[in-house]
Amino acid sequence: MSKTKLLVISIAGAGIVVVLLGLFLFSGRTEDEVLSRPAAVEKTSIGLGIIYLPVTQGLSEYYGLDVDYGALVTEVIPGSPADRSGIQVGDVIIAFDDAALEPKARLLGMMMACPAGHIVTLEVRRGTETKVIEIFHTTGQK
């Protein structure tokens, strides 16, 4: 490879790194803004047809929830058991078959332990109301 080609490739690579660093460092958000957002990883619930975030105290404060445990529904898959049962984005699932979702009792673990084809009862917070919703559970132990 010629010295000219090597120089061009090196300069292009350095330019890309500078642009990416600039986007990261000068995104317009302060460190406090970045750090104040709750760090959470979305979980997918194939058996119920929802995508959710495990509720923590920080997440609860950030979204103004009146509970600090459970599973905050961030998406309902169209046509899924959750959709057909009336689960809505913003609902907080606080119990699965009469067992409270607490930090040591997560929704995913409860679903995996539940037999497939079982109708489960979910206790859901919607705003300030608590609703009981029955839903057909499609994955779990077989």
Q: How far apart are CA 35 and CA 49, in angstroms?
A: 31
Torsion of CA 130, 36, 89, 137, to 10 degrees: -80
Q: What are 93's two structure tokens?
A: 């699932």
Q: How far apart are CA 82 and CA 107, in angstroms?
A: 14
User: pLDDT tens, 60-91?
Assistant: 999 999 998 999 999 999 998 899 999 999 99
Query: Quick check: 111 and 47 in contact, CB under 8 A?
Result: yes
Residue 124 has pLDDT above 60, yes or no: yes
Among 35-44, 47-56, 66-75, 90-99, whose mean pLDDT is lowest? 35-44
Q: How far apart are CA 1 and CA 123, in angstroms?
A: 66
3-state DSSP assignment of residue 130: strand
Q: What pLDDT, on the 0 to 100 scale, is given for residue 18?
A: 46
Beta-bridged to residue 122, according to DSSP, are: 96, 133
What is the share, in percent, of the chain residues with pLDDT greater than 70? 65
User: pLDDT tens, 93-116?
Assistant: 999 988 888 877 788 788 777 777
